[in-house]
Amino acid sequence: MSAPAVDPDRIRKELEAIVGPRRVSLRPVDLDTYARDMWPRLLFARRDGAPPPCLPNAVVWPENAREVATIVRAARSMGVPIIPYGGGSGVCGGVVPVRGGITLDMKRMQALRAVRGDELIADAEAGLSGERFERDLARRGFTFGNFPSSIYCSTVGGWVATRAAGQLSTKYGKVEDRVAGLTVVTGSGEIIDTDGPSRALGGPNWTQLVVGSEGTLGVITSARLRLSPAPQLRVFRGFEVGSVAAGVEAIRRVLQRGLRPAVVRLYDELDTFLNSMKPSGGHDDSERGHAYAPTPLPGEGALPVLPGAPPPDEDGPLRRLLALGRRGTRGLRKDALGAMLSRPRAVNGLVGAVAEKIARKGCRMIIGLEGARIRTEIEAALTFAELERAGAKDMGEEPGRAWLAHRYAVSYRMSPVFRDGAFVDTMEVAASWEQLLDLYHSVRAAIGRHAVVMAHFSHAYADGCSIYFTFAGHADDRAGSERLYDAIWRDGLEAATRVGGTISHHHGVGLLKAPYMFGEHREAMSVLIGLKKTLDPDDIMNPGKLGLGGSGGPA
């Protein structure tokens, strides 16, 4: 991928005439920075000091929708692509340029314009960060209810553009369930407002045609979002179930009774085992984010962490190997990681057997409920009773509150793995309850041929659930890492498609999953292609994403 020949002086002059010189950059360091998001495949090159495959031609920081529209019209006249950019926290290459272009960093558009409590609606600009958005709402007595692990570095616009989901989606829904309307600048430079809270009942829902479009149809500049009252009470609890299958059945029963816990997480045996190895005490940078209201609710104080790891005589070689990877010198850590991750089938078998031995009681489940005090107390009692009828054993509050204290930690633990020559990533797929266990076993087996893999079930709904696979791999060099990474995703997504699962639940599509869009959506892709040609007639809006190639066809 390389940028087409474009006169940089013309781009600079056009953009500076719109926003002034201080909000335009053609500096190499900025172009390099905005050529990537957190897609692990591109981090291999960064680790080796190699340049990204393609750079944008310029970066610009607009401050309002009128400036965005003028920039889009200028880009159209020059034949230069537009790439909207929020926090850069995406993991699918959704903001990566494929033929140069102008990257619009939206973070100067960060106002919470209005909170209309009588309508439970907030009007927020696209560049507003998730953490600031929730804290501003909490001070007013409301919540949007979207708490992804990237909340510190993701934005409202990014959430809407990718159909994001936070950790409390079982209660509040995914982001598309919470959007009442949008302001969008199309590829022709027109500013349009989609449906409002009281939209006409006839005809298509225009908002939902734009939600999840990942910048391929236009630039989302602001959103009208549905709110909920801030919770008066939060209740968290841990449970143990005998197996993944038993846990899945227990969750299904809860959801299909009409109960809506905010947090539902079921860990498979390996994930349960690794969670139990978290040391007690000590400092974790993620603890600064454990309470998403400005002050704790009544009765909430310091949150305990999980108890210490199992005794060393019960986990033998696995503990020693993991200990080498954690505590040795960098060279020793790299050797340990290489030894462990280069034999994924053997390691998956070993750790699976050890996990089953140590976690004799099966799999861990975290359940959390929140909302109005009386309603939450009643719903919690009904939920816990239903879980116990399904065979789950109540472990008390400690595991649930420990999860709450550390729930953003994963976003801060990946860098050392890449630094030491390995890689880690996540694959989030989903299916109906009928297909869910087939999805789990099929995708886990497909990934397990190439990498060490574990999974947890979260984002549960009445009709189905998402599965979040975490995998780690290792190769001797960058080319080998790229081949291995591609094989994991190819086999994993093909396995998901074979059993009727989705290719994504909430991370979006970007470049990573673009080749699989036609396989999942089939004839419906013609609707997306037609919409693309209408709203973006010159194909300048974020080319290559969502399976839309350079001419609005397959990538």
pLDDT tens column, 190-203: 999 997 655 556 67
Q: Are 84 and 95 in contact (CB under 8 A)?
A: yes
Q: What is the largest CA-CA distance in the chain?
A: 70
Domain contains 505: no
Q: Are 57 and 102 in contact (CB under 8 A)?
A: yes
What's the pLDDT at 410?
64
Amino acid present at 516: Y
Question: Across residues 141-170, what is the average pLDDT?
Answer: 96
Query: Given the structure tokens 């991370």, which residue do they identify?
Result: 507
Does the pLDDT value for residue 309 go beyond 60?
Answer: no
User: Quick one: which of 260, 275, 268 has its CA closest to 457?
Assistant: 268
Compare 408 and 276 and report the one with higher pLDDT: 408
Q: Which two tokens stand for residue 283?
A: 């400092």
Domain contains 2: no
Task: Provide the whole-model pTM.
Answer: 0.87
**Which range (87-96, 276-285, 408-417) has the least confidence?**
276-285
Positive or negative: CA dihedral 320, 407, 155, 205: positive
CA 204, CA 446: separation in Å to the nearest integer?
39
Q: Where does residue 426 fall: left (phi above 0), alpha (psi -120 to 50 degrees), or beta otherwise?
A: beta
Q: Are residues 254 and 131 in the same domain?
A: no
Q: Are residues 244 and 221 in the same domain?
A: no
What's the pLDDT at 272?
87
Domain contains 266: yes
CA 36, CA 91: separation in Å to the nearest integer?
10
What's the pLDDT tens digit per position in 374-392? Answer: 999 999 999 999 999 999 9
Number of domains in the chain: 4
Q: Are residues 73 and 57 in the same domain?
A: yes
User: Quick one: which of 10, 13, 101, 24 has its CA closest to 61?
Assistant: 24
Q: Where does residue 424 fall: left (phi above 0), alpha (psi -120 to 50 degrees), or beta otherwise?
A: beta
- Among the three residues 229, 249, 267, which one is the final residue of a domain in this structure? 229
- Among the three residues 76, 105, 134, which one is the final residue of a domain in this structure? 105
CA 111, CA 133: separation in Å to the nearest integer?
9
Task: Print the domain residue range for 272.
Answer: 233-498
CB atoms within 10 A of CB 346: 11
Compare 127 and 199 and report the one with higher pLDDT: 127
- Residues counted in the chain: 555
Question: Across residues 495-506, what is the average pLDDT?
Answer: 95
Domain contains 389: yes
Domain contains 37: yes
Coil, strand or helix at 499:
coil
Q: Are 466 and 413 in contact (CB under 8 A)?
A: no
Q: Are residues 373 and 295 in the same domain?
A: yes
Q: Are residues 245 and 364 in the same domain?
A: yes
Instruction: Give 405's pLDDT tier (boundaries 50, 70, 90).
Output: confident
Q: Are residues 272 and 393 in the same domain?
A: yes
User: Quick one: which of 273, 243, 265, 238 has its CA closest to 452?
Assistant: 273
Calculate the average pLDDT of the chain.
86
CATH classification of the domain holding 46: 3.30.43.10
Q: Are residues 130 and 68 in the same domain?
A: no
Instruction: Give 215's pLDDT tier (boundaries 50, 70, 90).
Output: very high
Q: Which two tokens stand for residue 211?
A: 């939600």
Does the pLDDT value for residue 535 go beyond 60?
Answer: yes
Domain contains 522: yes
Amino acid present at 492: G
Q: Which residues face 229 on adjacent strands? A: 142
Domain contains 506: no
Q: Are residues 42 and 172 in the same domain?
A: no
Which letter does DSSP use for residue 392 in this model? Answer: -
* 3-state SS string for 246-286: HHHHHHHHHHHCCCCCCEEEEECHHHHHHHHCCCCCCCCHH
Domain contains 302: yes
Query: Given the structure tokens 């673009």, which residue do they identify?
Result: 514
Q: Are 244 and 437 in contact (CB under 8 A)?
A: yes
CA 431, CA 386: separation in Å to the nearest integer?
23
Q: Are residues 308 and 385 in the same domain?
A: yes
- Among the three residues 229, 259, 293, which one is the final residue of a domain in this structure? 229
Which letter does DSSP use for residue 94 in this model? Answer: T
What's the pLDDT tens digit per position in 425-457? Answer: 999 999 999 999 999 999 999 999 999 999 999
CA 249, CA 254: separation in Å to the nearest integer?
9
Q: Are residues 360 and 463 in the same domain?
A: yes
Q: Are residues 406 and 521 in the same domain?
A: no
CATH classification of the domain holding 158: 3.30.465.10
SS3 content of the chain, % helix, strand, coil (to 5): 45, 20, 35
Question: Across residues 393-405, what is the average pLDDT?
Answer: 92
What's the pLDDT at 200?
55
CB atoms within 10 A of CB 451: 26
Question: Across residues 78-89, what is the average pLDDT?
Answer: 96
User: Quick one: which of 174, 71, 234, 190 has its CA closest to 461?
Assistant: 174
Q: Are 406 and 305 in contact (CB under 8 A)?
A: yes
Q: Are residues 297 and 197 in the same domain?
A: no
CA 57, CA 31: separation in Å to the nearest integer?
7
